[in-house]
Amino acid sequence: MQLPSQAEMTERLGVWAERYRVPGVSMAWMRGNEVVSAAAGVINIGTGVEATTDSLFQIGSITKIYTTTLIMQLVDEGRIELDAPAVTYLPGELRFSTPEITSAVTVRHLLTHTSGVDGDYFKGHGRGDDCVAKYVADAATLPQVYPVGHMWSYCNVGFVVLGRIVEVLRGMTWDVALRKYILDPIGATQTQTHLHEVMRYRAAVGHQIGADLAVSLPANLLMEPSAGPAGSTPYSSAEHLLKFAKMHIDGGVAADGTRVLSEASVRAMQNVEVDLPEQPGGFAQHWGLGWMLFDWGGRRVIGHDGGTIGQVSSLRILPEEKFAVAILTNSVGGGLLNGRVMHWIFGLADVEFPDRPKPPETPADIDLAPYVGNYERLGFEITVAMNDEGRLTTTYVSTEPLAGPLPPLPGPMWSVSETLFILQDPYFKTYAPVTFSDFEDGRPRYMFNSRVARRVD
């Protein structure tokens, strides 16, 4: 496959960054030992500092693969069993909403987002070494969305609990364990978690987009460090993110020959653990231990995405071809840019990138009334209503203090089947799949769009 040069990448990134209102972007692709990187734009519209290939961006939830790797190292050492209750490793410290749930949630449930715990909890607990422990102590206050193991719903809380397990078993903070057991062995000096280290580098800040589509700096630039193991704190350059990807591609061995993870654990992380609801478009079809798992035109792809306050990142890997791409952006529009870049570069690699979801030409002929109602999950109250044209609309009202500047507006939905709908974003006019499940008396109990929301009316 003929992959692009730095000059071509720089040109395209500049064009697409302007189109999708992304101030700055950095990316790199890797094939075997060959790495090519490029950057465009600025890391901060307030300072105008140029984005470069060694600029650090927040990688968000890509961090979850690092935390998974730390857990699997402990599995390799015989110190953790995946199907043991998580409380086994945090006795007297971990509690979920009931004793029954506490004893039922296993390490595997946390790694695969199947615990049922409502997971978007971002309360701060200071910047001390005990912030992760304090966060985990709050788990007892969090609602249970569905029975343990019943379905899949993205859960940040689970990975903070996993990070705390690492802290207890290693006898050090998660940040120190990450540096000692992963970052130093793979030589990822440009991956950092502490602000006093990030300040040594050219670091990007996030940007928001308003209702008038103007780009600005948000009031809050940083998430709380207590959620670090889930992705709130790490920064990285694109090239040093690929150092981590290469270690997994090479069966758990770093570039200098240091074994970081066993081959068995590398394979286990990439095996299918959970099949996700039907979600046409670029979202994963399956989930492994930490990894998102994709089937793109019959080709096996693994990866993860990340999002913090105004920063969006993506990592995709073709394990068999030893090929990987990392894209880092500093705008909420970064997801659109990342998708465009992935579509282009994987096309060059002869991989069939999935089309974005779009409404059906003819919506399914079904009774829409049973879907009308109120749904909720941590951070959002969701209303599904019927408009004057007889079409369903969905309105997300954020209850999270870190919410951006966009006021809630209803977005239209089109029915594809009795369980699958396509929702349009009222501002950016993009589309996303939404599924409904667990029908009782003809009405769905759950609404799913990467997270499960419970019907509450």
Q: Where are the domains of the chain?
A: 1-356, 369-455
Q: Which residue has the higher pLDDT, 241 or 298?
A: 241
Q: Pick the closest to residue 250 from 239, 241, 240, 259 (CA basis).
A: 259
Specify the pLDDT at position 277.
87
User: Are 226 and 135 a contacting pair, CB within 8 Å?
Assistant: yes
Looking at 295-381, list the stretches that DSSP marks H as alpha helix, in order from N- to C-terminal side: 334-348
- What average pLDDT score do residues 292-314 get? 96
Smallest CA-to-CA distance from 316 within 400, 248, 375, 371 is with 248
Report pLDDT for 427.
85
Residue 401 has pLDDT above 70, yes or no: no
Q: What is the pLDDT of residue 282?
A: 64
State the pLDDT at residue 356.
Answer: 84
- Give me the CATH topology for the region 369-455: Lipocalin (2.40.128)
pLDDT at residue 346 is higher than 90? yes
Mean pLDDT of 350-361: 89
Two structure tokens written together for 261:
């993870």
Task: Flag the least confident range among 42-51, 183-192, 210-219.
Answer: 210-219
CB 399 within 8 A of CB 412: no
The CATH class, in words, for 1-356 is: alpha beta
Among 408, 235, 410, 200, CA closest to 309: 235
Orientation angle between helical segments 334-348 and 6-19, nearest 10 degrees: 150
Question: 134: burial class by Cβ within 10 Å (0-12, 13-18, 19+)?
Answer: middle
The dihedrals phi and psi of 383, each to the nearest 5 degrees, come to -120, 120
Catalytic residues: 61
Mean pLDDT of 357-377: 95
Q: What are phi and psi of 293, to 5 degrees?
A: -120, 130
Using the predicted structure, report yes or no on whether residue 250 has a pLDDT greater than 90: yes
Query: Residue 355 corresponds to which amino acid?
Result: D
Q: Is the pLDDT of residue 69 over 70?
A: yes
Helix axes 63-76, 238-249, angle to 10 degrees: 30
